[in-house]
């Protein structure tokens, strides 16, 4: 399985571990097991830390995440939003980041798709990607942009993978675009379309 | 290797701005446009001061949209090693001089939805160039400019005309102070902050930025450290196989150059990192004056920035 640190491609995002920093306000965005990264950070902060914080939690597996959600609710954060999917939460993430003042620390934790999309939104409101903290938890499924038709295919777990839009069989590269929050997919059998490599699960 | 191409220029004007500041204009001898630059850029001016060649960085203050001349404003420093005094006392209209190509270590982040600028005293100069650029591109900015008193508040009236309510001026002698904490806690998402002025002001702004949770990627500062005078010492250049003397009013870099050794440099103010040099042996104390090295590099005595830092002790060997 492909791990972030294996890659020689510079654009391939690397993630760290959330750690509390001095700031006027804190915004957390997490999905599924990413919620546990917030809970783990919560163990090393003063009790009133979450008074000046907002949590946006995307809970795609309510049964599995029951304990995580209860933990987040117990933090006493004045604003805790939960949403069913990343897509449903994007406008909310955008609204929160757009109205934030400088001096707000943004923490992202969870699947690679969430980290990428939330980073893209943060950059759109003018934040430098290095101003964000990120921690990967859970799925490595990729958003892939087909370099031929520019269509984006979500939740790609295989190598190669088909473009949902034009149907070409794509080599999913580590080459990453922060602007569109997607890895680049390049046709793998352009010379001989009858040569169809076996798909392997690579990004689960 | 030093790849510092220089430009031959002529001093086309010297203007007294106030009791401490003079403005110098440089043109090409044939009057053709000078190389393009961006707001925040500096040039290194070469000064032939007797037997010594001084090279000192100064921010360009003129508009990047007009390169018929370059303008710098220089504050006289009676305590320094003599660069500003040379400019104030020796440089006259019509004099040929040599300057380096512009380089920018303090450029605007053009992705920012807003630029917040803090200037202290002569630190106003890079902002003047940046403001010309921002006015052209309709950029969103505000400038907070602090000076000792009205007389020393250079370019305040020009700025008022140019940017109106986006200028906020504070005079020390009228007990007016920039409210950094209020300003740093009320900026919209994506704002970048820039500070240029005396070292304590820069330190204060960076400290308050950190306390308010501003990311490093959104804070920018420009401060050219000055090579302080100090005790003379002997320096061994291992790669060149030379022993040289560093004089009281000479930086290590100047002494290296005077010995005919070609050493890399760019800003000559301890900010850019180009002249970083490996220390091979050090029996004594390195007196670091730069903004470049990390703390552990400083304490390890294995790296030094010869443009501004000095040495006190028995023996220093550099890989140069």
CATH of the domain at A90: 3.40.50.80
Q: Are residues A16 and A40 in the same domain?
A: yes
Percentage with pLDDT > 90 across chain B: 87
Over residues B43-47, the mean pLDDT reads 95
Over residues B251-271, the mean pLDDT reads 91
- In the predicted structure, residue A107 carries a pLDDT above the cut 70: yes
Residue-wise pLDDT tens digits, A3-47:
667 788 999 999 999 999 999 999 999 999 999 999 999 999 998
| CA atoms within 13 A of residue B257's CA, in its CB half-sphere | 21
Q: In whole angstroms, what is the distance from residue A13 CA to residue A2 CA?
A: 13
Percentage with pLDDT > 90 across chain A: 95
Over residues B284-307, the mean pLDDT reads 92
The residue out of A136, A155, A186 marking a domain boundary is A136
Q: Are residues A86 and A114 in the same domain?
A: yes
Average pLDDT, chain B: 94
- In the predicted structure, residue B226 carries a pLDDT above the cut 90: no
Tokens of B169: 């001026």
Phi, psi of A93 (to 5 degrees): -60, -45
CATH of B115-222, one of 3.30.1300.10, 3.40.30.10, 3.40.50.80, 1.10.645.10: 3.40.50.80
Q: In whole angstroms, what is the distance from residue B108 CA to residue B131 CA?
A: 10
Q: In whole angstroms, what is the distance from residue B127 CA to residue B118 CA?
A: 9
Q: Are residues A164 and A66 in the same domain?
A: no
Q: Are residues A105 and A131 in the same domain?
A: yes
The DSSP 8-state label assigned to residue B188 in this structure reads B
* Chain A residues in contact with B212 (beta carbon < 8 A): 22-24, 102-103
Nearest CA in chain B to A123: B190
Q: Are residues A27 and A74 in the same domain?
A: yes
The residue out of A136, A154, A174 marking a domain boundary is A136
Strands B115-120 and B141-147: parallel
State pTM to two decimals.
0.89
Phi, psi of B284 (to 5 degrees): 150, -155
Name the least confident of A11-15, A99-103, B225-229. Answer: B225-229
- In the predicted structure, residue A2 carries a pLDDT above the cut 60: no
In a mutational test of the B interface, the residue from A102, A124, A130 whose CB has the highest number of chain B CBs within 10 Å is: A102
Q: Are residues A183 and A115 in the same domain?
A: no
- Put simply, the answer to whether B111 touches A103 (Cβ < 8 Å) is no
| CA atoms within 13 A of residue B138's CA, in its CB half-sphere | 0
Q: In whole angstroms, what is the distance from residue A95 CA to residue A121 CA?
A: 10
Among B189, B193, B212, beta carbon nearest to A24: B212
Q: Are residues A11 and A53 in the same domain?
A: yes
Helix, strand or coil, per DSSP, at residue A70: helix
The DSSP element (H or E) to which A96 belongs, if any, is helix A86-99
Q: Say which CATH superfamily domain B6-104 falls into.
A: Translation factors (2.40.30.10)
Over residues A52-79, the mean pLDDT reads 97
B261 and B237 in contact (C-beta within 8 Å)? yes
Domain ranges of chain B: 6-104, 115-222, 233-318
Residue-wise pLDDT tens digits, A152-203:
999 999 999 999 999 999 999 999 999 999 999 999 999 999 999 999 999 9
Among B114, B190, B211, beta carbon nearest to A22: B211
> Which of B50 and B204 is assigned the larger pLDDT?
B204
Nearest CA in chain B to A25: B213
* Beta-carbon count within 10 A of B279 CB: 18
Q: Are residues A78 and A170 in the same domain?
A: no
Name the least confident of A107-111, B76-80, B146-150, B211-215. Answer: B76-80
Tell me, what's the pLDDT at A3? Answer: 65
Tell me which long-range contacts A154-161 makes (C-beta under 8 A, separation of at least 24): A154/A113, A155/A113, A156/A183, A156/A185, A156/A203, A157/A201, A157/A202, A157/A203, A157/A204, A158/A199, A158/A200, A158/A201, A158/A202, A158/A203, A159/A2, A159/A199, A159/A200, A159/A202, A159/A203, A160/A188, A160/A197, A160/A199, A161/A185, A161/A199
What residues of A are in the B interface, CB distance below 8 Å?
21-25, 97-105, 123, 125-128, 130-131
Q: In whole angstroms, what is the distance from residue B290 CA to residue B227 CA?
A: 9
B101 and B43 in contact (C-beta within 8 Å)? yes
Domain span at A182: 142-201
Cis peptide before A160 (omega within 30 of 0): yes
In the block, residue with structure tokens 């040599």: B98
Over residues A109-126, the mean pLDDT reads 96
Nearest CA in chain B to A126: B190
Q: Are residues A36 and A131 in the same domain?
A: yes
Tell me, what's the pLDDT at A1? Answer: 52
- How close A14 comes to chain B (CA, Å)? 17
Confidence of residue B1 (pLDDT cuts 50, 70, 90): very low
Residue-wise pLDDT tens digits, B185-223:
999 999 999 999 999 999 999 999 999 999 999 999 998
Q: In whole angstroms, what is the distance from residue B115 CA to residue A71 CA?
A: 39
The DSSP element (H or E) to which B304 belongs, if any, is strand B303-304
Helix, strand or coil, per DSSP, at residue A183: strand
Tell me, what's the pLDDT at B223? Answer: 87
The number of distinct structural domains making up chain A is 2
Q: In whole angstroms, what is the distance from residue B103 CA to residue B308 CA?
A: 18
Tokens of A69: 């959600």
Confidence of residue B152 (pLDDT cuts 50, 70, 90): very high
The residue out of A136, A162, A192 marking a domain boundary is A136
Q: Say which CATH superfamily domain B233-318 falls into.
A: Beta-grasp domain (3.10.20.30)
């Amino acid at each position: 399985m492909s791990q972030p640190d294996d890659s020689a491609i510079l654009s391939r995002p690397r993630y760290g571990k959330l750690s509390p920093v001095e700031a006027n306000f804190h915004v957390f965005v997490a999905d599924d097991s990413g919620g546990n990264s917030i809970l783990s950070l919560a163990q090393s902060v003063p009790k009133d830390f979450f008074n000046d914080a907002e949590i946006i939690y995307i809970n795609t597996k309510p049964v599995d995440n029951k304990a995580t959600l209860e933990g987040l609710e117990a933090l006493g954060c004045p604003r805790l939003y939960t949403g069913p999917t990343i897509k449903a939460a994007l406008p909310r993430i955008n609204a929160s980041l757009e109205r934030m003042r400088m001096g707000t620390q943004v923490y992202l934790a969870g699947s690679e798709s969430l980290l990428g999309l939330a980073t893209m939104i943060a950059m759109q409101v003018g934040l430098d990607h290095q101003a964000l903290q990120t921690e990967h938890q859970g799925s490595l499924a990729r958003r892939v942009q087909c370099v031929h038709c520019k269509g984006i295919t979500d939740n790609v777990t295989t190598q190669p993978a088909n473009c949902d839009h034009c149907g070409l069989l794509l080599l999913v590269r580590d080459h990453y675009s922060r602007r569109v929050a997607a890895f680049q997919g390049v046709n793998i059998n352009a010379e001989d379309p009858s040569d169809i490599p076996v798909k392997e699960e690579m990004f689960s | 290797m030093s790849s510092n191409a220089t430009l031959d220029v002529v001093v086309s004007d010297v203007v007294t701005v106030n009791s401490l500041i003079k403005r110098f204009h440089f043109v090409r001898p044939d009057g053709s446009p000078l190389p393009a630059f961006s707001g925040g850029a500096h040039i290194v001016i070469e000064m032939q001061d007797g037997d010594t060649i001084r090279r000192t960085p100064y921010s360009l203050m003129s508009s990047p949209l007009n390169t018929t001349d370059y303008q710098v404003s220089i504050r006289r420093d009676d305590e320094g090693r003599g660069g500003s005094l040379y400019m104030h006392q020796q440089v006259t209209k019509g004099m040929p001089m040599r300057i380096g190509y512009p380089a920018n270590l303090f450029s605007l982040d053009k992705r920012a939805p807003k630029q917040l600028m803090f200037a202290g005293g002569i630190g106003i100069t890079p902002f003047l160039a940046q403001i010309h650029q921002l006015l052209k591109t309709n950029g969103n900015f505000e400038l907070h400019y602090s000076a000792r008193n009205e007389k020393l508040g250079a370019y305040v009236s020009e700025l008022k005309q140019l940017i109106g309510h986006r200028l906020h001026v504070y005079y020390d002698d009228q007990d007016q102070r920039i409210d950094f904490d209020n300003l740093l806690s009320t900026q919209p998402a994506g704002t970048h902050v820039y500070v240029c002025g005396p070292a304590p002001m820069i330190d204060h702004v960076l400290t308050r930025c950190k306390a308010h949770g501003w990311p490093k990627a959104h804070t920018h500062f420009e401060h050219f450290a000055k090579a302080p005078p100090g005790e003379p010492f002997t320096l061994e250049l291992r790669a060149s196989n030379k022993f040289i003397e560093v004089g009281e009013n000479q930086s290590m870099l100047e002494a290296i150059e005077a010995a005919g050794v070609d050493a890399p440099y760019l800003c000559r103010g301890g900010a850019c990192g180009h002249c970083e040099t490996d220390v091979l042996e050090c029996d004594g104390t390195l007196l670091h004056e730069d903004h470049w090295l990390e703390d552990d590099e400083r304490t390890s005595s294995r790296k030094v920035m010869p443009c501004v830092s000095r040495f006190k002790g028995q023996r220093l060997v550099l890989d140069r």
